[in-house]
Amino acid sequence: MKTGLCAGVLMACFAVADVTQAADAEAGRSIVDRWCAACHITADGNADSRVVRGTDAVPTLSSIARNPNRSPNWLRQWLSSPHPPMPDLNLSRSEIDDVIAYLQEMAR
């Protein structure tokens, strides 16, 4: 019984950790660096290696972030389903929320 209770408390802790992670712009940045920077220029005027990898054919993430037609809901839908030529990135809902939080920070 005692161990059962302990496990329950632990689970609750993990659940709380998940919630606080739900929209974490820092986590979004590392997802973007890992999964999006190969194609999308991640920040305008930043002369780092990511800019070299991005191409003009793909909209920059900051132009997407500043586009008033690209609301968080629109982005969530875009990132939830495959859009060739963009690969299906298989992001979880919380990863998508992190990426959106990062894009919103970028738009400021």
Nearer to ligand HEC, 8 or 83 (CB): 83
- Least distance to ligand HEC from the beta carbon of 102, Å? 9
Give CA–CA dist 48/76, Å, rounded.
28
Binding residues for ligand HEC (CB under 6 A): 31-32, 35-36, 38-40, 58-59, 64, 67, 70, 75, 78-79, 85-87, 89, 99
Which of residues 33 and 48 has its CB atom nearest to ligand HEC in the complex?
33
